[in-house]
Amino acid sequence: MSTRAILTVNSGSSSLKLGLFTEELETLAMCHVDRIGRREAAMKIRDAAGRNLPMPEHAPTAFRTNGAALRTALEVFQADFPGLEVIAVGHRVVHGGVNHAEPLRLTEATMKELARLAPFAPLHQPHNLAGVRAAVDTFPGVPNIACFDTAFHREHPFVNDTYALPRRYYEKGVRRYGFHGLSYDYITGELARTEPELHKGRVVVAHLGSGASMCGMKGGHPIDTTMGFSALDGLPMGTRTGQIDPGVLLYLMDTDGLDSHGLSELLYKESGLQGLSGVSNDMRTLESSDDPHAQEAIDYFCFRIRRELGGIAAALGGIDGLVFCGGIGENSANVRAQVCEGMEWLGITLDAEKNVTHAREISTGKTRVLVIPTNEEIVIARAAAQVLETL
């Protein structure tokens, strides 16, 4: 017996997410590895029914690299699906630059081109491409396909694609790219399938996870998003600042002598919920903490979402629906309630009971509020299957 499968790879700086799908795009298994490169890595693999798959007896308790984690996960998959044959590997690649909106078959030449975009996303792109290298080594001869987080937003109007810098910087690629596109692609696809009327209207999607952003769409087309040139802009995140006055950076360079490396560490890794609370970057931990700084960090997070919601609603000329997704958006009734409080002026009123039970639709007002679990892996798998058909 053999199982032909499409593998999806989302390779980050210290985490690896894998999805295993049939050719017909049925889910076979999902794998999540955290804390790669540290002493205690945690690998969880579940089958489509949500059952944990057992680790091989000799499995390491830590993984030095994403490639090592990939090889162990593959062993687990092979034990559960005898005769497993991976026929394509789809990759989440954060940056496609100005040129790439469509999924791309990876070759040495296209890999080189994507590596040149590393300065645009220094904390993501190199790790994404390391995942591609690991897959090339593990599955020789199998097509690798990149799907870009920036792709969804490439239709933005010029006013929302540029900064007010001298024009030459726009030409050099200093643009508002936007991220989390695979998640927005999934949500808009789900709306088209299940809520066709709402899909035609003005919808704001709030992707609230460790990284967080919002996107406004009209008829499924992106109009505005909170992230810009980098994945730092917009909402505060687990450890990232979100929007910050650039004057603060100039001040820190002058007074604290911070260079680009020091600023990068501060803005990406020491700020956001972690920096403000001094407690944790994890919303669950903050919600269960009685430290007042934890609540202040949550308040700041919700305040910034509310501000962006108003701004995006203005860009859309109104709002017909608000969708929450991502680990926080899907699971934190507190955050959803705090974001929606006093938003009747936008037609938003929550049904408190439905919100607490994480119902799919949690509103009673004219603007519909939905909770839709996102699924970036299936978007990558679909794209890989489509590219495979053309080969």
Q: Does 326 bind ligand ADP (CB under 6 A)?
A: yes
Among 20, 187, 283, 294, binds ligand ADP (CB under 6 A): 283
**DSSP-derived secondary structure for 173-188:** T-------HHHHHHHH
- Taking the complex as a whole, the smallest distance from the CB of residue 121 to ligand ADP amounts, in Å, to 15
Q: What is the Cα–Cα distance from 95 to 118, expressed in whole angstroms?
A: 8
Among 332, 355, 367, 375, binds ligand ADP (CB under 6 A): 332
Query: Is 149 one of the catalytic residues?
Result: yes
Look at residues 376, 386, 320, 382 and name the one whose alpha carbon lies nearest to residue 185: 376
Among 19, 211, 236, 347, binds ligand ADP (CB under 6 A): 211
Rg of the chain (C-alpha set): 21
Among 331, 355, 367, 375, binds ligand ADP (CB under 6 A): 331
Among the listed residues 34, 47, 80, 149, the single catalytic one is: 149
Q: Does 361 bind ligand ADP (CB under 6 A)?
A: no
Contacts of 34 (CB under 8 A, 6+ apart): 14, 15, 41, 42
Q: What is the Cα–Cα distance from 117 to 103, expressed in whole angstroms?
A: 16
Q: Does 11 bind ligand ADP (CB under 6 A)?
A: no
The CA-CA-CA angle for residues 286, 291, 297, to 5°, reads 50
Q: Does 181 bind ligand ADP (CB under 6 A)?
A: no
Q: Does 210 bind ligand ADP (CB under 6 A)?
A: yes
Q: Does 183 bind ligand ADP (CB under 6 A)?
A: no
Task: Indicate the Cα dihedral angle 222, 226, 230, 232, nearest 10°.
Answer: -150
Per CB under 6 A, the segment of 20-28, 158-166, 190-198, 207-215 that binds ligand ADP is 207-215
Q: Does 321 bind ligand ADP (CB under 6 A)?
A: no
Per CB under 6 A, the segment of 39-47, 136-144, 154-162, 203-211 that binds ligand ADP is 203-211
How many of the chain's residues bind ligand ADP (CB under 6 A)? 13
- Taking the complex as a whole, the smallest distance from the CB of residue 210 to ligand ADP amounts, in Å, to 4
Q: Does 234 bind ligand ADP (CB under 6 A)?
A: no
Burial 25-63 (b: 16+ CB within 10 A, else e): eebbbbbebbebeeeebebebebeeeeebebeeeeeeeb
Contacts of 179 (CB under 8 A, 6+ apart): 94, 149, 150, 211, 213, 225, 227, 231
Q: What is the Cα–Cα distance from 363 to 297, expressed in whole angstroms?
A: 26
Task: Note the residues at the interface with ligand ADP (CB under 6 A).
Answer: 209-211, 238, 282-284, 287, 326-328, 331-332
- The binding site for Mg(2+) consists of 10, 376
Which residues are designated catalytic? 149
